[in-house]
Chain A
Amino acid sequence: MKSRWAPIIKTMPRRGPLPNLEDYAKACAGFSWEEARRELAGLPGGGGLNIAYEAVDRHVDAGFGGRVAIRWIGKHGDVRDYTYAQLKILSDRFANVLGGLGIGKGDPVFALCGRIPELYIATLGSLKNRSVFCPLFSAFGPEPIRSRLSIGEAKLLVTTESLYNRKIAALRDSLPALQRVLIIRDGAVRGEEMAGTVDYDRAMEGASERFSISPTSPEDRALLHFTSGTTGFPKGAVHVHDAAVAHHATGRFALDMKPGDVFWCTADPGWVTGTSYGIIAPLTNGITNLVVESEFDPEQWLDILEREKVSVWYTAPTAIRMLMKGGAAPVKRRRYPALRLLASVGEALNPEAVVWGREAFGLPFHDNWWQTETGGIMISNFASMDVRPGSMGRPIPGIEAAIVRRTENGGAEEIREPDVQGELALRPGWPSMFRAYWNEPERYRQCFAGGFYLTGDLARRDEDGYFWFIGRSDDVIKSSGHLIGPFEVESALLEHEAVAEAAAIGVPDPVAGELVKAFVTLKPGYAGSPELQRGILGLARSRLGAAVAPKEIEFRSALPRTRSGKIMRRLLKAQALGLPEGDLSTLEVPS
C-alpha cells in the first residue's frame, strides 16, 4: 500500500542545531521511563513528584528564575512577560488562596476562562495544592459546562465576571458540590459585587507568596480532562503527577524543545493539548511558552511567528488549512529564521498540508497522534526522521503501539502483518496514561483488552513501522480537532418543543475535517421551515455553545433505526458521504 506522496527526506545540513532525537532506532533501544523520570528533579527532600514543582519551582531553585516562562499576548496586542520567579510567586499565592478557601488535596478545581494569565497561574497553583485541576473550554455553552462541573464534582471554579454572568450564575442551584467561585474581574459588571463569589484579585492580594508543596505521590491525581464517547455523557479522564515525565520527554523528542526556545502551542488548555503542551511540557523544559489569547487570524498569527521568533510551532490541521486558503504568499512575505520545527495535532493532517508547509515555510508539518486518555504524544513524526506525508509517524521511545482486532470473547489480538487495517492499541504503562474516568470504573475497564489500551481509532502500520490513521471505530465527531459526542448534541436538540428525534453526525469539511450536522424529525403538527431550522439551531447554540452545536440541521420524515430501536448514525453518514450503505439487514424500514 504505497502512498502517492513522496517521502520528505531529511538531509544534512539541516536548519538549526541537531534534533534531541537524533537517531530513532538508537533512541528507542536506549530508552526507559525510569531514566526519563531522572530528567526531572523530584520534590526536595524526597517528597515525591509534583508537576508544578517540575514546571516552575525547580528552575527558580536552579538559578534560572529570571528566564521568561510565559510571554502572554493579549487580544488587544498587549504583551506581558512572566519569569519563572514571578510564576512561582503567583502560583504559590494561588495555592494559598485555595487552602484558605478550604480546598485541599484531591478536590476538583475547575477553570472556565479564555487564555488569560490567571488560567496558567490557577493551573500551577492547583497542582501545587495537590487539587485536581480541570480547565474547561470557554466557548462551551451552559449545558456542556453544567454536565462537566456536575460529573467532575467541581468544588471550586475559577472564571471571569462575564462568563459567570452569561453561563454560570443560572446553573449554581443545579451544582450542589460547587462550594466556591473565584471571579476574575474583566469589567463586565463594574463595581457590582456578585453574590456567592470570591474576588480573585482580592484573594490573591491577601495570600502569602510562599507556599511549600506537601509531599506528592507520582500517582496522586493531578488533572482532569473531559472527552466524549458515542453514548452517554462526557467522561473525565484522570491524569496523575507522574504524567509530567511523559510531557517532559515527549516535549524533547517530538517537539524538540531546547534551551532558549520560544515555543507556541496554539491549543486552548480546555483541550488536553493546551494543557500538556500549552502549559506543562514547555515549562518543565524551562523554555519560553508563548500564549496567544485571540482566536485564529491568519495575518496576526503570521506576524506573531515572525515577531516573537518562534522556534517550534505546534498547531492544528484546521488552522493550517485556513492558512492554506490564503495561499503561500502571505507566509513568504515574512521571515522566520528562528523557526525549525512545525508540528500538528488534533486529527490526521492531510498530506497536502504536510507538503504545503515546505512550500510556504520551507519546513514540512510534522503530524503526531495522541488522545485525551494518553495524556501526551504517543506516535509522531520526528525532526530527524523522514516524513511520509499523511502518516502519523512512529511510536515515541517507550511506547509500544500495535494494530489489533477485537475477538469474540471480548479480547484483542495483535495483527502483526503490515498494512492490515485494525484498531490502534497501546501497551499500558506509560506515565501519562489516564488512571480512571472520574467515578466511572466500568467505562474505564472497557477501554482495555488483551493487555492493550484500545484507542477506538482505526489505523494500519506499514512495513517500516509508520502508522496511518484510517478513521474512528465509533460515532464520535472530530471537528476542528475537538472530539464531540453525538449524544450530547442530540440531547440538546431534543429540548426543542418541535423535535421528536435527533441524530448528529460529522460531515466532511475541507477546513474543519468534520462539521456537526444534525438530522431531526418533527413532532406532529410541526412543519419544517427555515424559521424552525433557525429556531432549533439557535436553541442548540445557546445550550451547547458554538464549539459543540451543529452547523447544519436537516429535517427528515424518519430516521433509520436498527430493529432494536437504535438510530443508525452510520447509515446517515454513509448517505451524506454518498458511500455504499453496507449491510442493512438489521435496519427497520420506517412505515
Chain B
Amino acid sequence: MSEPRKSGKDLKEAVLRILGEIAPDADLSRLKPDENLREALDIDSMDFLRFASKIEQELGVPVPESDYRKLGTLAACVRYLEAASKIPSSTPAPFGRFVA
C-alpha cells in the first residue's frame, strides 16, 4: 500500500479540511500558520481529541497523547505530519500511510 508522498501543501489542505469539519464556524482563510489552533478556532479539549483521531483515521498518522502539544498550530501540524511521513512503517496503516 503505497501512495505518492504528500507535499506540505497537500498536508496543509488536509489539516484545514479536518479543522473545517470540527469547527465549521471558523474562517480558516484567516488562520495564520503560527496561531494557536484552540484559541483561534474556539476548539475545546473534546474537539481536539476528535481532531487528533481524525488525523489518525483519515491521514493514517498515529498521534500518541504525548505528541498533542506538537499539534498546537497549523504550521506545527504540517511539520509533524511531514516528519511522520518520513518514518517508514513495517505495518501498513488502515487508511494508507504516507510512505517515503
Q: How many residues of A contact B (CB 8 A)?
A: 30
B4 to chain A, nearest CB (A): 27
Interface assignment of A417: CB less than 8 Å from any CB of chain B: no
Q: Residue of B at shortest CB range from A318?
A: B45
Q: Residue of B at shortest CB range from A516?
A: B46
Interface assignment of B84: CB less than 8 Å from any CB of chain A: no
Among the 9-residue stretches A214-222, A230-238, A246-254, A297-305, the one with 4 or more Cβ atoms under 8 Å from chain B is: A297-305
A239-297: which have CB < 8 Å to B?
295-297
Which residues from chain A contact B86 at a C-beta distance below 8 Å?
none
Once the chains are docked, how many angstroms separate the CA of A539 from the CA of B25?
Answer: 6
Once the chains are docked, how many angstroms separate the CA of A141 from the CA of B41?
Answer: 12
B20-47: which have CB < 8 Å to A?
20-21, 23-25, 38, 42-47
Which residues from chain A contact B65 at a C-beta distance below 8 Å?
298-299, 322, 325-326, 330
A14 to chain B, nearest CB (A): 30
Interface assignment of A56: CB less than 8 Å from any CB of chain B: no
Interface assignment of A534: CB less than 8 Å from any CB of chain B: yes
CB pair B24–A551 under 8 Å, yes or no, is no
Identify which of A322, A535, A547 contacts B44 (C-beta below 8 A).
Answer: A547
Interface assignment of A538: CB less than 8 Å from any CB of chain B: yes
Once the chains are docked, how many angstroms separate the CA of A535 from the CA of B20?
Answer: 11
Once the chains are docked, how many angstroms separate the CA of A296 from the CA of B46?
Answer: 10
1/0 per residue, CB under 8 A from B, across A523-548: the answer is 00000000000110111011001110
CB pair A299–B69 under 8 Å, yes or no, is yes
Q: How many residues of B contact A (CB 8 A)?
A: 19
A274 to chain B, nearest CB (A): 15
Once the chains are docked, how many angstroms separate the CA of A541 from the CA of B24?
Answer: 8
Interface assignment of A511: CB less than 8 Å from any CB of chain B: yes
Q: Residue of B at shortest CB range from A541?
A: B25
CB pair A297–B68 under 8 Å, yes or no, is yes
Which residues from chain B contact A551 at a C-beta distance below 8 Å?
46-47, 50
B34 to chain A, nearest CB (A): 13
Once the chains are docked, how many angstroms separate the CA of A381 from the CA of B47?
Answer: 31
CB pair B24–A537 under 8 Å, yes or no, is yes
Identify which of B21, B38, B42, B46 contacts A512 (C-beta below 8 A).
Answer: B46
The prevalent SS among residues of B at the interface is helix
CB pair B46–A297 under 8 Å, yes or no, is no
Once the chains are docked, how many angstroms separate the CA of A101 from the CA of B77?
Answer: 46
Given A297-B69, A298-B68, A551-B50, do A322 and B23 touch, yes or no (CB 8 Å)? no
Which residues from chain B contact A515 at a C-beta distance below 8 Å?
46
Once the chains are docked, how many angstroms separate the CA of A117 from the CA of B49?
Answer: 28
Q: Residue of A at shortest CB range from B72?
A: A297
CB pair B42–A534 under 8 Å, yes or no, is no
Interface assignment of A150: CB less than 8 Å from any CB of chain B: no
A399 to chain B, nearest CB (A): 32
Interface assignment of B91: CB less than 8 Å from any CB of chain A: no
Which residues from chain A contact B43 at a C-beta distance below 8 Å?
546
CB pair B25–A300 under 8 Å, yes or no, is no
CB pair A511–B46 under 8 Å, yes or no, is yes
Interface assignment of B66: CB less than 8 Å from any CB of chain A: yes
Most A-side CB within 10 Å, residue of B21, B24, B25, B50? B25
Which residues from chain A contact B49 at a C-beta distance below 8 Å?
322, 511
A78 to chain B, nearest CB (A): 15
Which residues from chain B contact A512 at a C-beta distance below 8 Å?
46
Q: Residue of B at shortest CB range from A324?
A: B65
Which residues from chain B contact A296 at a C-beta distance below 8 Å?
45
B20 to chain A, nearest CB (A): 7
Most B-side CB within 10 Å, residue of A139, A300, A515? A139
A344 to chain B, nearest CB (A): 16
Once the chains are docked, how many angstroms separate the CA of A546 from the CA of B25?
Answer: 10
Given A534-B20, A551-B46, do A326 and B64 touch, yes or no (CB 8 Å)? yes
B60 to chain A, nearest CB (A): 19
Q: Residue of A at shortest CB range from B69?
A: A297
Identify which of B42, B44, B46, B66 contacts A330 (C-beta below 8 A).
Answer: B66
B72 to chain A, nearest CB (A): 9
1/0 per residue, CB under 8 A from A, across B42-61: the answer is 11111101100000000000
Which residues from chain A contact B23 at a C-beta distance below 8 Å?
538, 541, 546
Which residues from chain B contact A141 at a C-beta distance below 8 Å?
42
A320-373: which have CB < 8 Å to B?
322, 325-326, 330
Which residues from chain A contact B45 at a C-beta distance below 8 Å?
295-296, 318, 322, 480
Q: Residue of A at shortest CB range from B21?
A: A534
Q: Residue of B at shortest CB range from A297?
A: B69
A538-591: which have CB < 8 Å to B?
538-539, 541-542, 545-547, 551
CB pair A535–B24 under 8 Å, yes or no, is yes
Which residues from chain A contact B25 at a C-beta distance below 8 Å?
537-539, 541-542
Q: Residue of B at shortest CB range from A319?
A: B45
Which residues from chain B contact A300 at a C-beta distance below 8 Å?
69
A557 to chain B, nearest CB (A): 23
Which residues from chain A contact B20 at a C-beta distance below 8 Å?
534
A511 to chain B, nearest CB (A): 6
Identify which of A295, A326, A534, A545 contacts B24 (C-beta below 8 A).
Answer: A534
Q: Residue of A at shortest CB range from B36?
A: A75
Q: Residue of B at shortest CB range from A536?
A: B24
CB pair A326–B66 under 8 Å, yes or no, is yes
Once the chains are docked, how many angstroms separate the CA of A295 from the CA of B69?
Answer: 11
B54 to chain A, nearest CB (A): 13
Q: Residue of A at shortest CB range from B46?
A: A512
Which residues from chain B contact A538 at a C-beta distance below 8 Å?
23-25
Given A326-B64, A511-B49, do A541 and B69 touch, yes or no (CB 8 Å)? no
Once the chains are docked, how many angstroms separate the CA of A300 from the CA of B46?
Answer: 17
A493-541: which have CB < 8 Å to B?
509, 511-512, 515, 534-535, 537-539, 541
Which residues from chain A contact B42 at a C-beta distance below 8 Å?
139, 141, 541, 545-546
16 A-B contacts (beta carbon < 8 Å): A299-B65, A325-B65, A326-B64, A326-B66, A511-B46, A515-B46, A535-B24, A538-B24, A538-B25, A541-B25, A546-B23, A546-B43, A546-B44, A546-B46, A546-B47, A551-B50
Q: Known contacts A139-B44, A511-B49; can you find 11 more A-B pairs with CB under 8 A?
A: A297-B69, A298-B66, A298-B68, A318-B46, A330-B66, A509-B46, A534-B24, A537-B24, A546-B44, A546-B47, A547-B44
Residues of B at under 8 Å CB distance from A?
A: 20-21, 23-25, 38, 42-47, 49-50, 64-66, 68-69
